[in-house]
Amino acid sequence: MIPRDSRLVRPICLCLCIAATAGCNAVPMYQYRQAQMQTLSMYRQSRALSGQMAAERQQLQQVATERQQFEQAAAQLQGELQTAQSQLQVSNERLANLGSERQELHSRYSNLLTSLQSGGNPLSGNATKRFEDLARKYPEFEFDPYTGVSKFTGDLLFATGSSEVRTAAKPLLAEFSHIMNEGEARQFNILVVGHTDDQPVKKAKTKSKHANNWELSAHRATSVVDALSKQGLVERRMGVAGYSMYQPVAANSDESSRQRNRRVEIFILAPDAKIASTWDAGPRF
């Protein structure tokens, strides 16, 4: 016979066992909520990362496009640079050729003038005396009886920056032409050489007619030839040269010395003297 208390204990134990078993398999509600929140957070992070990756892919594509454009522009610039370098090389070669040509002309004129100065005065005593009298009459006109070289100061013949012969200088050039057209002097030719000081051409009015001192010196020599021609000196007996500022007779240190350098010189040439007939005037490049 089972005791009364034992019959009561059995159902209670069974209930406790069932409750324990059910508690082992069920998830508490707070843990379930926590898992849901974690899942939602991970989903949101995933979407954010996907958006960032898409934006970065777009940026990479844009950078790749810009890089391609830069490479194309760089290739074009490289081509232009090569073309410019080629053109620069051609220009440098042309400048070198022009420089060599100018140096050659300068050397030939220097040799010619040196030979004239060292060759003595080819004029007769009568012509020399007439030129000496002319120098005494016009103080700014110089005549060297040992070489036969005549020298006109630039300020005597021209206004500053001008190549137009002054009206006051025309009587002097007329008398010079008359001497060269009379007696033994008629057999000689002349070389008219222009010189300037070291001051560059600046005034717009002057620069419009003479770009630099080279042109100014040559234009002044040409103007003297024109003036002598109008006084009856045959043009085939004359030649011109311009030395710019590169044959000074003074140091260009002040206005007085610069005035001496602004000059036109006339060299007497022997009848058979040749200036340019043997020069090669063909193209240099």
pLDDT (tens digit per residue) in 101-159: 767 666 665 555 555 444 567 888 888 999 999 999 998 899 998 888 999 987 889 98
**Whole domain around residue 207: which residue ranges?**
123-269
| Average per-residue pLDDT for the chain | 81
Residue 151 in any domain: the answer is yes
- The CATH number for 230's domain is 3.30.1330.60
Which residue among 92, 118, 144 closes a domain? Answer: 118
Q: What percent of the chain has pLDDT over 90?
A: 35
pLDDT of residue 279: 36
pLDDT of residue 88: 87
> pLDDT at residue 260 above 80?
yes
User: Do residues 111 and 248 both lie within one domain?
Assistant: no
Tell me the mean pLDDT in the region 224-243. Answer: 94
pLDDT in tens, 83-101: 888 888 888 888 788 777 7
> pLDDT at residue 179 above 60?
yes
User: Do residues 262 and 181 both lie within one domain?
Assistant: yes
User: Do residues 173 and 147 both lie within one domain?
Assistant: yes
User: Do residues 234 and 170 both lie within one domain?
Assistant: yes
Residue 245 in any domain: the answer is yes
User: Do residues 137 and 226 both lie within one domain?
Assistant: yes
Which residue among 118, 144, 175 closes a domain? Answer: 118
User: Do residues 133 and 185 both lie within one domain?
Assistant: yes
User: Do residues 265 and 128 both lie within one domain?
Assistant: yes
pTM: 0.55
Q: Which of 108-122, 127-141, 197-211, 247-261 has the lowest mean pLDDT?
A: 108-122
User: Do residues 84 and 187 both lie within one domain?
Assistant: no
Instruction: State the total domains in the chain.
Output: 2
pLDDT in tens, 45-80: 888 888 888 888 888 888 888 888 888 888 888 888
User: Do residues 76 and 205 both lie within one domain?
Assistant: no
130-136, Cβ contacts within 8 angstroms, sequence gap of 24 or more: 130/179, 131/176, 131/179, 134/172, 134/175, 134/176, 134/179
User: Do residues 110 and 240 both lie within one domain?
Assistant: no
pLDDT of residue 31: 84
